[in-house]
Amino acid sequence: MPHRQIQICDDDPAAALITQRGLQALLGESYGVVIAPTPNAAWLACAHGDVELLIVDPGAGSGSASALVRAMHAFRPTTPVFVLTAYDTPGLRAKMRDLGVRYYVAKPIDFKDLLPLVTAALHIAPIANSFPIRMNAHCSH
């Protein structure tokens, strides 16, 4: 596995697997895309400093995912957090904005539309209107 790593944390294992496989296919060997089964597991991977991007779906009222986002901003502020959620609501968008999330995308989104956003987050490149990004493309998951 490549040294450079993208960590996915999603409470829906099937969605996490689809996201992982899609991104891995598009990124090739330049990044390893791995899944954490829980926010705690994602934090342990990120705390060791091996993760260059965290993709998280806060889920429906998941306080532990929000705690993960807070911990990332407090203890790993240089690691970008990318919210990719099927639970998009104005309240969640506001909460993530208040937690400092720069990259927020509502599912469904095609991987061809997701890839440039992930690439931008990895390079910390600004994207016009990056928050919130609302895509209504056909879902690949």
Residues 20-42: tens digit of each pLDDT: 999 999 888 889 999 998 899 99
- Give residue 37's pLDDT: 86
55-111 residue pLDDT tens: 999 875 567 888 999 999 999 999 999 999 998 999 999 999 999 999 999 998 999
Contact status, residue 36 vs residue 6, Cβ threshold 8 Å: no
- Give residue 124's pLDDT: 38
Task: List Cβ<8 Å contacts ≥24 apart for 62-70.
Answer: 62/11, 64/38, 64/39, 64/40, 65/9, 65/11, 65/39, 66/95, 66/99, 67/39, 68/9, 68/39, 68/42, 68/43, 69/96, 69/99, 69/100, 69/101, 70/99
Is the pLDDT score of 52 beyond 90? Answer: yes
Q: How far apart are the first and last CA of the chain?
A: 24
Q: Which domains does the chain show, CATH number per domain? A: 5-134 (3.40.50.2300)
In angstroms and rounded to an integer, the radius of gyration of the C-alpha atoms of the chain is 13
- Give residue 65's pLDDT: 87
> Quick one: which H or E segment has residue 120?
helix 111-122
- The amino acid occupying position 8 is I
Strand ranges across the sheet with 5-10: 32-36, 5-10, 51-57, 81-85, 103-106, 133-134
